Each structure stands twice: as structure tokens, then as C-alpha cells.
Amino acid sequence: GKSTASDMLSAYYARGCCSRELFTGRKIEEADSFETHLNQHNVIRLDIQRFLFDTSHLDIFIDKIQSAVIKDLESEYGGCFVEDQYGLPGVLDQIYAQTRKGFIFIIDEWDCVFRFAKERKEIQKAWLDFLRGLFKGAQYVELAYMTGILPIKKYGEHSAINIFKEFSMLSPGRLAQYFGFTEEEVNGLCERYGIDYAKAKAWYDGYL
């Protein structure tokens, strides 16, 4: 459900969406902040696997990501920036300085680089350096949300990004109630389809 969660957040926050109907009647609608955030933010949504579906892309994917996002930004903010040696972070800095509008970053499969480049430490380092340069201390970042199956930790001799709070299947923290099926939802489904709830619970308690 990682990509589904990314799509949901994009639909909720992005100015380019009109997603009120999707969230009407959901619990989020009861939140005081619902109207404040619904379709009110600049969202940059990236699926890293789309830039890295072959090992031959390892040497070019970071440049491709930057050029693709900058091209998209030109249609909305072309008069606010000039491309320079600082790449995407430099462009976003200029946009923020001109507009005072930040961005939400939603990055799916952030860690696929480490699966493709298992033996290429220089590629891993370049990717971590890029993410650190994109996020750390940047005024234009309102929120950065990344999905993956690997932890954000130290890779080899190179320390990873230390600005994220990490949630996993084993340590979901306060997000546990929002993922998978809740007890309330399973109970409702059992009633709907005539399944004994106690039996369903016994089946799945095996995962503990």
C-alpha cells in the first residue's frame, strides 16, 4: 500500500487536483485543518523506479529527475528562476524567494537505487547527497514524505539523511491506526459478508 498512500497524499494536498469528492464523508473531513490543506499546496510527486528501471540509468537518473521537474516548473514559475549549477535545489530556492510558496515532496520507492546499485557505492553516495541537498535546511520544503522497504540509515561509510522520522511495519508508531485494516473495519466487513469475526481474528492473529 506504499504507492497508494503516496497517491492519496498527492490527491489531498496538490493544487492540481480537485479531490474533495474523494475525501467527503471520510474522517479527515472532520479535522479542523481539512479546508486549510485540501488542494492548497505545490506537490512534487516522484516515483524513482520510473527513472531507474534499468541498471544503465544509474549514471543519469539524478540528472533526469532534475530536468524533468524543472521542465514542469517552467510552465508555472518560468519567470521566477534561471537554471544554474545548483540544479533543482537552486531553482526551488529562487522560486521560493520570489513567491514565498513552498513545496510538498512525495517520493515513492526512494530506496530502489540501493537495490540497483548494490556494488556501486559512488552512486549511493551521489543519491544521498542529492536528497540531502534537496531537503536539509531548505526553506521551500513544507513536507517530505518518502516510501521504501529499506531504512534511512547509514550506508557503508556514508551517513544517510537524518531529518526524517521513520515508520516501519515493526515500528509504525502513531501511524499504525492509518494503515492496513483496523479492527473496526474488519468487524464491519465480517458482518457484511456473513463471516464470524472471532474466526477471522484467529486466522490473522497468527501473524503476531
- Within 8 A by CB and 6+ apart from 31, the residues are none
* pLDDT confidence of residue 165: 87
* pLDDT confidence of residue 38: 97
Q: Is the pLDDT confidence value at 178 over 60?
A: yes
| Residue 208 binned pLDDT confidence (cut-offs 50, 70, 90) | low
* pLDDT confidence of residue 157: 58
CA angle 130, 13, 1 (to 5 degrees): 75
Q: What is the pLDDT of residues 71-130, one digit of tens each?
A: 999 999 999 999 999 999 999 999 999 999 999 999 999 999 998 998 898 999 999 999
Residue of 188, 3, 179, 187 lying closest to 107 (CA atoms): 3
Query: What average pLDDT does the chain have?
Result: 90
* pLDDT confidence of residue 207: 55
* pLDDT confidence of residue 55: 86
The predicted model scores a pTM of 0.84
* pLDDT confidence of residue 177: 78
> Which residue did the predictor score with more confidence, 161 or 187?
187
* pLDDT confidence of residue 182: 75
* pLDDT confidence of residue 54: 87
- CB-CB contact of 3 with 100 (8 Å): no
C-alpha cell at position 29: 473531513
Q: What is the pLDDT of residues 53-63, one digit of tens each?
A: 888 999 999 99
| Residue 49 binned pLDDT confidence (cut-offs 50, 70, 90) | very high
- CB-CB contact of 151 with 168 (8 Å): yes
| Residue 202 binned pLDDT confidence (cut-offs 50, 70, 90) | confident
Helix ranges (DSSP H) in the chain: 2-13, 20-23, 34-37, 61-77, 87-99, 112-116, 121-135, 183-193, 197-204
> Which residue did the predictor score with more confidence, 1 or 10?
10
33-44: average pLDDT: 97
Q: What is the pLDDT of residues 123-176, one digit of tens each?
A: 999 999 999 999 999 999 999 999 998 877 666 555 567 788 888 877 888 888
